[in-house]
């Protein structure tokens, strides 16, 4: 590859593709194994974005210099702890975390937890100390891939391409594309994946399929785990999970003596006990000995920064608040970078009520719904005009970004804004950009495998089906092929099965204990009849969701809710 023409896709996606600029066009790199010469429709959309090139104050256009003066003034006159730093994941290059360095030194309140994968991550960590995926080659070498709560062909299309000829099993309430390509599709009821994992464990034991060698060598508490699985009559699982025992027989016939991989997604863990649910699935996998084999294993959203030093991280005594529960109105100044909480944060009504009552600074690349509530808007420059490194939460490969297009003079990179603020406040200088980038480029972390596996030994999970009646629906969301969370396109429909007796184009009012909103119906029989499905990025879906954290990791629990639907 020539020098200085590399472009890393900055979007929040498992694949972390590498591109290169050749004669003014960006092409997918052929040397980067997962990219394999192709970039996707979302990348094409990103190139077509109408990037912000102007600053705004109270709706009026101002110069970049004026916007920086207002920001500095505002920061100087606000008590630091009454300033909230809120970062989204619109760009997940490593250089995006630079701003947190300033806000930590300044004394702002920071957030903790996640709107994304936190619950599941906590569950995996509880069993095996950290969240690291096996090398991608082990996925390529597996015989069977179980796609569990993950929209594999859509959300990691390049990883899928590497393994598309394998035999698949899908566990998802939706008949996704990968479910259609699968030998077995288990159309599970939402929030019952731990029960299915227990049922599998029970079956495995009955058929002597557990991996005693793995359990003896690495396992702690496997007997306790098995005891939980044994506690219930087998048939009772059929009604709760919606999975027939005959499908479970089929499942074991298919995986017997095979090298098995599980690609586990967000779907299983958007609940209050998301960590316990995920740990239960991971424990089933350990019971079978899927871990530590020469092929196969479990792939979740790994800790992509594992094994790297964090060049911007500094110790601080800053207050940290739970991100899903954040009260924007408690702050005098809210600084939002690379996020669109008005769409993507749980409980939209609470978000907009909060943002209405405070001074909001938005630092981003495009005008989004959150900008309607922003007092000050500062344009961040395009990813094509800033240096960066992309690590991946799907695999171990990284991508590099050079500056391939000169930056618009009215915009600023995250590194530039942070350096400027640090200078204005006489704080400790940042490491040089060169040094940071070359550290990431050259450092290859050792991905140590875990030494012991702690099985989950007790479970305390309140199922949603207890509150399910014939009149309400499970609320489920998933990612769309044509958008990246709230970026690029919005699909604002509710998708329902035809058996619900609603019709295409019906206008419905959907309500939950947390709020309500109107939607237009699209009938789609890929959706399980007891579910209402919405794409992530739907402008109204988060009016229905709880601004509450899970039990263990300050993470959002978007699906811990049932909804009622009425013709409007």
Positions that interact with ligand SF4 (CB under 6 A): 9, 11, 13, 15-17, 39-40, 42-43, 157-158
**336 DSSP β-pair partners:** 86, 362
Strands 6-8, 18-22: parallel, antiparallel or unpaired by DSSP?
antiparallel
d(CA 3, CA 21): 10
How many residues lie near ligand MGD (CB under 6 A)?
62
Among 6, 158, 185, 191, binds ligand MGD (CB under 6 A): 191
The listed partner (ligand SF4, ligand MGD, Mo ion, none) that binds 323, CB under 5 to 8 Å by sort, is none
What is the smallest separation between the CB atom of 417 and ligand MGD, expressed in angstroms?
A: 9
DSSP summary character for residue 399 = E
Among 116, 215, 342, 355, binds Mo ion (CB under 5 A): 116
Contacts of residue 386, defined as CB under 8 A and 6 or more positions apart, other chains included, come to 93, 95, 401, 403, 407, 413, 414, 415
What is the smallest separation between the CB atom of 11 and ligand MGD, expressed in angstroms?
A: 8
Closer to Mo ion at the Cβ: 322 or 329?
322
Contacts of residue 275, defined as CB under 8 A and 6 or more positions apart, other chains included, come to 119, 120, 122, 123, 126, 269, 550, 551, 552, 553
Among 278, 483, 497, 555, binds ligand MGD (CB under 6 A): 483
What is the smallest separation between the CB atom of 148 and Mo ion, expressed in angstroms?
A: 17
Which tokens is 222 given?
């496997």
What is the smallest separation between the CB atom of 534 and ligand MGD, expressed in angstroms?
A: 7
Listed ranges 84-92, 309-317, 443-451, 501-509: which one lies at the site for ligand MGD (CB under 6 A): 84-92
Instruction: Please give the backbone phi and psi of residue 564, each rounded to the nearest 5 degrees, phi first.
Output: -110, 140
Q: Looking at 187-261, list the stretches that DSSP marks H as alpha helix, in order from N- to C-terminal side.
A: 193-206, 212-218, 222-230, 234-241, 245-255
d(CA 115, CA 485): 12
d(CA 124, CA 277): 10
The listed partner (Mo ion, ligand SF4, ligand MGD, none) that binds 17, CB under 5 to 8 Å by sort, is ligand SF4
Query: Does residue 417 interact with ligand MGD by CB under 6 A?
Result: no
CB 144 within 8 A of CB 1: no
Q: What is the CA radius of gyration of the chain?
A: 24
Please calculate the CA angle 421-388-311 and round it to the nearest 5 degrees: 60
Binders of ligand MGD in range 380-399 (CB under 6 A): 380, 383
Listed ranges 30-38, 189-197, 350-358, 547-555: which one lies at the site for ligand MGD (CB under 6 A): 189-197
d(CA 104, CA 106): 5
Among 478, 494, 502, 540, binds ligand MGD (CB under 6 A): 478
Query: Does residue 558 interact with ligand MGD by CB under 6 A?
Result: yes
Which tokens is 409 given?
């003079």
Please calculate the CA angle 557-563-568 and round it to the nearest 5 degrees: 140
Which tokens is 488 given?
């690029």
What is the smallest separation between the CB atom of 558 and Mo ion, expressed in angstroms?
A: 11
CB 28 within 8 A of CB 402: no
Closer to ligand SF4 at the Cβ: 7 or 146?
7
What is the smallest separation between the CB atom of 309 and ligand SF4, expressed in angstroms?
A: 24
What is the smallest separation between the CB atom of 389 and ligand SF4, expressed in angstroms?
A: 14
d(CA 110, CA 104): 8
What is the smallest separation between the CB atom of 379 and ligand SF4, expressed in angstroms?
A: 22
CB 38 within 8 A of CB 31: no
**Residue whose C-beta lies closest to Mo ion:** 116
Binders of ligand MGD in range 34-73 (CB under 6 A): 42
Query: Does residue 268 interact with ligand MGD by CB under 6 A?
Result: yes
The listed partner (ligand MGD, Mo ion, ligand SF4, none) that binds 383, CB under 5 to 8 Å by sort, is ligand MGD
Binding mask 336-365 for ligand MGD (x = CB under 6 A): -xxxxx-xx------------------xxx
CB 121 within 8 A of CB 372: no
Assign 237 to helix, strand or coil: helix
Closer to ligand SF4 at the Cβ: 18 or 269?
18
Number of CB atoms found within 10 A of residue 212's CB? 12
What is the smallest separation between the CB atom of 516 and ligand SF4, expressed in angstroms?
A: 33
Q: Which helix (H) or strand (E) element contains residue 84?
A: strand 83-87
Closer to ligand SF4 at the Cβ: 156 or 419?
156
Listed ranges 39-47, 112-120, 227-235, 493-501: which one lies at the site for Mo ion (CB under 5 A): 112-120
Closer to ligand SF4 at the Cβ: 39 or 71?
39
What is the smallest separation between the CB atom of 136 and ligand SF4, expressed in angstroms?
A: 14
The position carrying tokens 């979007």 is: 11
Q: Which residues bind Mo ion (CB under 5 A)?
A: 116
Q: Which residues bind ligand MGD (CB under 6 A)?
A: 10, 12-14, 42, 88-91, 115-117, 148-151, 154-155, 171-174, 176, 188, 190-191, 193, 265-268, 337-341, 343-344, 363-366, 368, 380, 383, 476-481, 483-487, 536, 541-542, 545, 558-559
């Amino acid at each position: 590859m020539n020098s200085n023409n590399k472009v890393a896709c900055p979007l929040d996606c498992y694949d972390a593709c590498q591109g290169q600029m050749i004669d003014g066009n960006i092409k997918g790199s052929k040397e980067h194994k997962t990219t394999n010469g192709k970039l996707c429709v979302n990348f094409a959309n990103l190139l077509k974005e109408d990037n912000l090139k102007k600053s705004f104050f109270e709706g009026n256009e101002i110069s970049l210099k004026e916007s920086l003066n207002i920001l500095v003034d505002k920061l100087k006159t606000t008590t630091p702890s009454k300033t909230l730093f809120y970062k989204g994941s619109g760009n997940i290059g490593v250089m995006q975390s630079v701003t947190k360095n300033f806000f930590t030194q300044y004394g702002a309140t920071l957030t903790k937890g996640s709107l994304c994968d936190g619950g599941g991550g906590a569950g995996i960590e509880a069993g095996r100390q950290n969240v690291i995926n096996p090398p991608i080659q082990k996925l390529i070498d597996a015989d069977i891939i179980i796609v569990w709560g993950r929209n594999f062909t859509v959300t990691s299309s390049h990883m899928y391409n590497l393994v598309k000829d394998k035999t698949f099993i899908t566990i998802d309430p939706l008949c996704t594309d990968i479910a259609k390509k699968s030998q077995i599709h288990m159309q599970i009821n939402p929030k019952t994946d731990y029960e299915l994992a227990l049922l599998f464990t029970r079956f495995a034991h009955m058929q002597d399929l557990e991996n005693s060698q793995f359990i003896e060598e690495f396992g702690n508490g496997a007997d306790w785990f098995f005891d939980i699985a044994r506690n219930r009559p087998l048939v009772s699982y059929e009604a709760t999970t919606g999975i027939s025992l005959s499908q479970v027989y089929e499942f074991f016939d298919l995986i017997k003596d095979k090298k098995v991989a599980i690609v586990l997604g967000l779907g299983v863990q958007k609940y209050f006990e998301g960590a316990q649910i995920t740990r239960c699935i991971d424990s089933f996998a350990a019971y079978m000995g899927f871990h530590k084999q020469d092929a196969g294993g479990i792939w979740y959203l790994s800790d992509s920064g594992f094994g790297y030093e964090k060049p911007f991280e500094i110790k601080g005594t800053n207050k940290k608040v739970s991100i899903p529960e954040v009260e924007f109105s408690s702050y005098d100044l809210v600084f939002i970078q690379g996020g669109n909480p008005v769409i993507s944060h749980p409980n939209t009504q609470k978000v907009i009520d909060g943002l209405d009552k405070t001074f909001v600074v938005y630092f981003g690349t495009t005008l989004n719904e959150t900008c309607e509530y922003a007092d000050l808007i500062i344009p961040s420059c395009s990813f094509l005009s800033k240096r960066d490194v992309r690590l991946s939460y799907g695999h171990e490969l990284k991508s590099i970004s050079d500056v391939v297009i000169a930056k618009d003079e009215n915009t600023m990179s995250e590194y530039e804004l942070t350096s400027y603020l640090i200078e204005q406040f006489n704080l400790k200088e940042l490491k040089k950009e060169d040094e940071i980038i070359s550290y990431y480029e050259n450092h290859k972390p050792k991905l140590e495998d875990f030494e012991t596996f702690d099985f989950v030994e007790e479970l305390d999970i309140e199922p949603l089906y207890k509150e399910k009646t014939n009149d309400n629906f499970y609320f489920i969301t998933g990612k769309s092929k044509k958008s990246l969370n709230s970026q690029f396109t919005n699909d604002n429909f509710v998708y329902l099965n035809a058996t619900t007796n609603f019709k295409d184009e019906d206008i419905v009012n959907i309500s939950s204990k947390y709020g309500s909103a109107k939607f237009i119906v699209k009938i789609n029989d890929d959706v399980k009849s007891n579910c209402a499905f919405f794409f992530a990025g739907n402008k109204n879906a988060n009016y229905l969701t709880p601004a509450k954290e899970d039990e263990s990791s300050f993470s959002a629990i978007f699906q811990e809710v049932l909804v009622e639907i009425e013709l409007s």
